[in-house]
């Protein structure tokens, strides 16, 4: 079968990227990102740091006295005349502190910036150029990493005795860049083989452009975190060196104040006002940087961000007022399917609780998976297919939350049903793969590149069949590999040694190795060419007949499902809008969206007809308007469609099996008849 139109290809966005792109303008996106960064800890950190930056700018002008001016008021405690007291030689401590704030902040920020620039330059060059350059730069970086920073700084500072701030910046930058360079090199290595970097290389872009235009923008979050850490390192190193008498800033700094306080025995004389203020300033700036760093990391690091959103969702759950908009009343499942389907899904709802409005990715989805059937799920990119698959397998990760519905597995006619949503984690991991396995879209991503096929195939046997001998496991791995049409001589191959089609077959073999009752396949053939796609579909059909498992087959390609699936559920905006036998759906689509999807590919055996797309784009799942979600794109819209969402109910088509359609065109109370394009017999000629 030839497929010319691929709705997924027309909207080629990764889910998360799509969410970001849904925001109206770059300014609004920037504001959303900045808003997301403003956690309480970041705000507190920014306020403290802001105060010190302000003091660094205006502090010296606010100083009541010349900080170096000696007076007769020797070692006096705080008073109205000297708010922070005086030193052994009668100098005003407040004036020293204000002058020192500027020097310390200037050194810390400049050294932080220089060290970060060094780390970015050397780290990205090392990661992107690779080869000998990478090896040399890695050796240099590792040498600097293993030398303890403070002793090295002491040695360097001793060689630059009266260099002032410039010498300090050099010393701190030379000793601090290596950690950042190592982190950035690792990130650059992972970006190096991304398609857009490869394309930029192929187009002949210079290395500097590759670094600063293609790579650095992607690394900005990591670079920002490195900068904050290096400023903190610089503050502490400056204070440490000055305290040891090696930090000649040429004037006052917090470290110098501590040095003179120690020299003149302020501690033993109880002159706390002399050493506590600079110590407190160092601690406060350090705390502010750490708070910003942790807060930013929590937002920028996907793992920590997920945990944060999960935490905030817990709090939200206790506050119903702050919860997402309630879902519309669940549509009753009007068809009484087989008495005991294998899987029974009722009103399943999943939302991504992001820092913005929740994304209602799956809304009140209900269907049964019958024994031995292939149920196809079709729909445009972003309509919730993958989210639904993950929820059924219980592998959704925060911020995805199942916030409604039920999921029942009926093992066989005599055993009690299993409630998949309330299973214990232990039972769930025993259930997964044993009864329900998944084949993900990109086999290359689901296979580990560093482990051979045999080990990857036998991994699940080690976990689920602990009593099996190694020989038995290997024999089973060979058996399933043969089943999917790959020679057993490939058992010891690594994924990169196989073609895309072979890797996808290996992924299918992995899913079948424990003979599960259900296999969920999320776009398993989308990345493959049509010839390989057809081979795999034929093989799946054979395997299904041989092993009698049920399949939920997810794809945007409705034409593929017409050939392969027994029944098809069409999804739109997180809901099922039509569910019917695939032959019926092909001949008599009941929903205008199904009709539109069907018209997106050419008729290879019937008369020629124009290939049309569906005008408009899917709705924003964060802000669904009332009424039918398809209304803005629907050619048959009626006034009722603007205010009410149609329930999934039996259609008015005389089909072999009862079909369900969510469209008011099938509701006799709303309209008397179907439009001509949806009447039986029209779809073939449409
Ligand atoms: N981690 C996430 N955070 C927020 N929204 C998400 C996330 N992942 C997916 N989405 C959104 O959920 C919706 C459904 O996505 P998905 O299930 O991947 O659709 P499909 O598989 O049909 O392309 C889309 O609008 C997508 O942007
Ligand atoms: S309910 Fe109305 S808007 Fe929605 S698909 Fe049917 S006719 Fe179109
Ligand atoms: Mg998907």
Residue 655 banded pLDDT, cuts 50, 70, 90: low
> Does the pLDDT of residue 95 top 60, yes or no?
yes
Domains of the chain, CATH where assigned: 43-68+78-302 (1.10.3720.10)
Sequence-ordered alpha helix ranges (H) in 338-469: 385-393, 425-431, 443-446, 453-464
**Which atom in ligand 2 lies closest to the alpha carbon of residue 640?**
2
Peptide bond preceding 399 in cis form (omega within 30 of 0): yes
Minimum mean pLDDT range among 107-116, 140-149, 323-332, 362-371: 323-332
Residue 35: its pLDDT value, please?
Answer: 57
Mean pLDDT of 369-388: 92
Ligand 1 atom with least separation from CA of 618:
25
pLDDT band at 161 (very low <50, low <70, confident <90, very high): low
Q: Provide mean pLDDT across the span 30-57.
A: 79
Regarding the beta carbon of 662 and ligand 2, being less than 6 Å apart is answered no
Q: Which atom of ligand 1 is nearest to the CA of 388?
A: 17
Residue 638: which pLDDT band, with cuts at 50, 70 and 90?
A: very high
Contact 381, 11 (CB under 8 A): yes
* Crossing angle between the packed helical segments 470-483 and 453-464, to the nearest 10 degrees: 120
pLDDT for position 605? 55
Pairing of strands 418-419, 343-352: unpaired
Q: How many CB atoms lie within 10 A of CB 66?
A: 12
**Of 154-163, 353-362, 621-630, 651-660, highest mean pLDDT:** 621-630
Q: Tell me the C-alpha distance between 585 and 579, whole Å.
A: 8
Position 309 scores a pLDDT of 52
Q: State the pLDDT at residue 383.
A: 92
Query: Nearest 5°: phi and psi at 574?
Result: 85, -5
Q: What is the mean pLDDT of the chain?
A: 80
Protein residue closest via CA to atom 3 of ligand 2 = 631
The tens digit of pLDDT for each residue in 603-624 reads: 555 566 666 678 788 898 888 8
The pLDDT tens digits of the residues spanning 343-365 come to: 999 999 999 987 778 899 999 99
**For range 520-537, the mean pLDDT:** 80
640 lines ligand 2 (CB under 6 A): no
Q: What's residue 657's pLDDT?
A: 64
Plot region of 433 (φ>0 → left; ψ -120 to 50 → alpha; else → beta): left
Q: What is the mean pLDDT of residues 562-581?
A: 93
Q: What pLDDT sits at residue 260?
A: 85
Instruction: Please tell me the residue having the least CA distance from ligand 1 atom 24.
Output: 382
- Please give the distance, rounded to the nearest whole angstrom, from the Cα atom of residue 492 to the centre of ligand 3: 31
- Whether the CB of 646 sits within 6 Å of ligand 2: yes
Handedness of CA 666, 669, 674, 679 (dihedral sign): positive
Q: Whose CA is nearest to atom 1 of ligand 2?
A: 663
DSSP for 193-259, please give it: TSHHHHHHHHTT--HHHIIIIIIHHHHHHHHHHHHHHHHHHHHHHHHHHHHTT----SS--HHHHHH
Question: How far apart, in whole angstroms, are the C-alpha atoms of residue 508 and residue 492?
Answer: 17
Instruction: For ligand 2, atom 6, name the residue with the nearest CA.
Output: 663
* Ligand 2 centroid, distance to 13 Cα (angstroms): 26
Measured distance CA(42)–CA(19) in Å, rounded: 24
Greater pLDDT, 174 or 68: 174
Q: What residues contact residue 575 under an 8 Å CB cut-off, 6+ apart?
A: 362, 363, 364, 365, 384, 629, 648, 662
For the residues of 622-663, what is the DSSP string, one character each? Answer: TSPPSS-TTGGG-TT--HHHHH-PPP-EE-SS--SS--EE--
Residue nearest to atom 14 of ligand 1 (CA): 384
Tens-digit pLDDT profile for residues 244-284 = 777 655 578 888 888 888 888 888 888 899 889 999 999 99
What residues contact residue 208 under an 8 Å CB cut-off, 6+ apart?
none
Res 564 pLDDT > 90: no
> How far away, in angstroms, is 440 Cα from ligand 1 center?
15
Residue nearest to atom 27 of ligand 1 (CA): 15
Q: What percent of the chain has pLDDT over 90?
A: 29
Check residues 158 and 108 and name the one with the higher pLDDT.
108
State the ligand closest to the CA atom of 362.
1
Using the mean position of ligand 1's atoms as its centre, give its distance from the Cα of residue 298 in Å: 21
Ligand nearest to the CA of 664: 2
Q: In testing the pocket of ligand 1, which one of 19, 381, 524, 577 has its CB within 8 Å of the most ligand atoms?
A: 19
Half-sphere exposure of 672 (CA within 13 A, CB side): 0
Least confident range from 439-443, 453-457, 516-520, 572-576: namely 439-443
pLDDT at res. 21: 37
pLDDT at position 304: 53
Q: Which residue has the higher pLDDT, 7 or 267?
A: 267
| Mean pLDDT across 188-210 | 76
Q: How far is CA 8 from CA 12, 21, 257, 379, in A?
A: 6, 16, 65, 9
Q: From the CA of 90, how far away is ligand 3's center (Å)?
A: 73
Residue 535 has a CB neighbour count (10 Å cut-off) of: 15
Instruction: For residue 335, name the pLDDT band (cuts at 50, 70, 90).
Output: very low
Q: Please tell me if the CB atom of residue 474 comes closer than 6 angstroms to any atom of ligand 2.
A: no
Q: Which atom of ligand 1 is nearest to the CA of 574?
A: 14
Least trusted range by pLDDT, from 158-172, 484-498, 625-639? 158-172
Nearest of 421, 278, 411 to residue 347 by alpha carbon: 421
Q: Which SS3 state, helix, strand or coil, does residue 128 take?
A: helix
Residue 79 in tokens: 């008073």
DSSP annotation of 344? E
**172 closest CA partner among 279, 61, 73, 255:** 255
**Position 160 pLDDT exceeds 70:** no
The top-scoring range by mean pLDDT among 63-72, 142-151, 269-278 is: 269-278
Q: How far is the CA of 32 from the centre of ligand 2 (A)?
A: 33
* Residue ranges with CB less than 5 Å from ion ligand 3: 385-386
Q: How far is the CA of 632 from the centre of ligand 2 (A)?
A: 9
Task: Report, as an integer, the average pLDDT of 237-242.
Answer: 82
Q: Output 27 or 518, whichever has higher pLDDT.
A: 518
Least confident span in 329-338, 426-435, 668-677: 329-338
CB of 573 closer than 6 A to ligand 2? Answer: no
Measure 675 CA to ligand 2 centroid, in angstroms.
11
Q: How many Å apart are CA 662 and CA 574, to the nearest integer?
A: 13
C-beta 674 within 6 A of ligand 2: no
Ligand nearest to the CA of 356: 1
CA 601 to centroid of ligand 3, rounded, Å: 20
Q: Which long-range contacts (CB under 8 A, 24 or more apart) does 471-478 make?
A: 476/513, 477/453, 477/509, 477/513
Q: What is the mean pLDDT of residues 274-296?
A: 88
H helix and E strand count, the chain: 25, 12
Ligand number with the minimum distance to the CA of 7: 1
Whether 414 shows a pLDDT value over 70: the answer reads: yes
Please, which pLDDT band fits residue 2 given cuts at 50, 70 and 90? very low
Beta strands across the sheet bearing 575-581: 436-439, 518-522, 550-555, 374-378, 567-572, 575-581, 660-661, 649-650
Residues 198-222 as b or e (16 or more Cβ within 10 Å = b): eebeeeeeeeeebbeebbbebbebb
Give the pLDDT of residue 443.
Answer: 63
CA of 60 to the centre of ligand 1 (A): 54
Ligand 2, residue 629: give the atom nearest the CA: 4
| Most ligand 2 atoms within 8 A of CB, residue of 618, 629, 646 to mutate | 646
User: 246 CB less than 6 Å from ligand 2?
Assistant: no
Share of the chain above pLDDT 70, in %: 81
Q: Look at residues 590, 575, 563 and name the one whose alpha carbon lies nearest to residue 655.
A: 590
**Cα torsion for 492, 498, 504, 508, to the nearest 10°?**
-20
Q: Can you tell me which atom of ligand 2 is nearest the CA of 641?
A: 2
> Which residue's CA is minimally distant from atom 10 of ligand 1?
15
Cα angle: 214, vertex 199, 137; to 5 degrees: 55
Lowest mean pLDDT among 80-89, 220-229, 321-330, 664-673: 321-330
CB 618 within 8 A of CB 570: no
| Whether residue 630 has its Cβ less than 6 Å from ligand 2 | yes
Is residue 636 in contact with ligand 2, taking CB distance under 6 Å? yes
Question: What's the CA gap between 243 and 260, in Å, rounded?
Answer: 8
Q: Please tell me the distance between residue 615's alpha carbon and the centre of ligand 1 in angstroms.
A: 21
Q: Report residue 491 as tokens.
A: 């058992």
The reported pLDDT for the residue numbered 16 is 34
Which three-class secondary structure state does DSSP give residue 126?
Answer: helix
């Amino acid at each position: 079968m030839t497929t010319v139109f691929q709705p997924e290809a027309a909207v080629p966005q990764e889910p998360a990227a799509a969410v970001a792109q849904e925001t109206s303008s770059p300014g609004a996106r920037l504001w959303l990102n900045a808003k997301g960064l403003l956690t309480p800890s970041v705000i507190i950190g920014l306020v403290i740091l802001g105060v010190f930056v302000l003091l660094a700018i205006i502090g010296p002008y606010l100083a009541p006295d010349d900080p170096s001016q000696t007076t007769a008021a020797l070692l006096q405690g705080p008073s109205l005349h000297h708010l922070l007291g005086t030193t052994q030689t009668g100098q005003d401590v407040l004036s020293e502190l204000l002058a020192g704030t500027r020097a310390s902040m200037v050194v810390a920020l400049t050294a932080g910036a220089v060290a970060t620039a060094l780390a970015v330059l050397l780290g990205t060059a090392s990661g992107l150029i690779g080869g000998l350059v990478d090896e040399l730069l890695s050796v240099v970086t590792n040498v600097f990493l293993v030398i303890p920073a403070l002793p090295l700084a002491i040695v360097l500072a001793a060689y630059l005795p009266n260099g002032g701030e410039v010498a300090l910046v050099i010393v701190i930058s030379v000793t601090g860049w290596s950690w950042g360079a190592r982190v950035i090199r690792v990130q650059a290595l992972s970006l190096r083989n991304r398609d857009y970097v490869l394309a930029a290389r192929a187009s002949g872009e210079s290395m500097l452009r590759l670094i600063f235009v293609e790579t650095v923008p992607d690394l900005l979050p990591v670079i920002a975190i490195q900068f904050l850490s290096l400023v903190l390192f610089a503050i502490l190193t400056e204070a440490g060196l000055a305290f040891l008498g090696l930090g000649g800033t040429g004037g006052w700094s917090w470290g110098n104040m501590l040095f003179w306080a120690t020299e003149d025995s302020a501690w033993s004389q109880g002159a706390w006002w002399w050493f506590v203020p600079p110590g407190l300033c160092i601690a406060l700036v350090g705390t502010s940087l750490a708070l910003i760093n942790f807060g930013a990391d929590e937002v920028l690091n996907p793992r920590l961000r997920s945990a944060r959103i999960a935490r905030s969702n817990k709090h939200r759950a206790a506050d119903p007022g702050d919860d997402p908009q309630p879902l519309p009343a669940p549509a009753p499942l009007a068809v009484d399917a087989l008495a005991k389907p294998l899987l029974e899904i009722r009103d399943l709802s999943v939302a991504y609780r992001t820092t913005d409005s929740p994304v209602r990715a799956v809304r009140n989805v209900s269907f049964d998976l019958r024994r031995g059937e292939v149920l196809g799920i079709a729909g445009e990119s972003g309509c919730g297919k993958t989210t639904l698959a993950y929820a059924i397998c219980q592998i959704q990760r925060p911020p995805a939350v199942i916030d409604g519905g039920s999921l029942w597995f009926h093992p066989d006619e005599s055993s009690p049903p299993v409630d998949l949503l309330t299973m214990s984690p232990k039972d769930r991991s025993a259930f997964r793969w044993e009864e329900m396995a998944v084949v993900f879209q990109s086999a290359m991503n689901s296979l580990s590149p560093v482990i051979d096929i045999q080990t990857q195939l036998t991994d699940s046997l080690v976990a689920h069949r602990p009593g099996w001998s190694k020989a038995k496991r290997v024999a089973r791995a060979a058996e399933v590999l043969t089943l999917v049409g790959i020679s057993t001589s490939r058992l010891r191959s690594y994924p990169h040694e196989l073609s895309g089609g072979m890797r996808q077959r290996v992924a299918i073999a992995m899913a079948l190795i424990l003979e599960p009752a259900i296999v969920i396949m999320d776009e398993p053939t989308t990345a493959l060419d049509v010839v390989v796609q057809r081979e795999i579909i034929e093989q799946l059909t054979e395997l299904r007949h041989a092993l009698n498992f049920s399949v939920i087959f997810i794809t945007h390609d409705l034409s593929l499902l017409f050939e392969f699936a027994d029944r098809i559920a069409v999804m739109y905006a997180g809901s099922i809008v039509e569910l019917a036998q695939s032959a019926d759906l092909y001949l008599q689509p009941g929903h205008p969206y199904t009709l539109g999807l069907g018209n997106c590919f050419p008729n290879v055996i019937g008369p020629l007809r124009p290939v049309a797309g569906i005008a408009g784009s899917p709705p924003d799942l964060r802000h669904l308007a009332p009424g039918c979600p398809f209304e803005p794109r629907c050619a048959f819209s009626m006034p009722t469609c603007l205010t009410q969402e149609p329930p999934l109910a039996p259609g008015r088509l005389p089909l072999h099996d009862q079909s369900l359609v969510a469209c008011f065109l099938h509701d006799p109370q709303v309209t008397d008849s179907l439009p001509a394009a949806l009447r039986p017999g029209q779809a073939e000629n449409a």
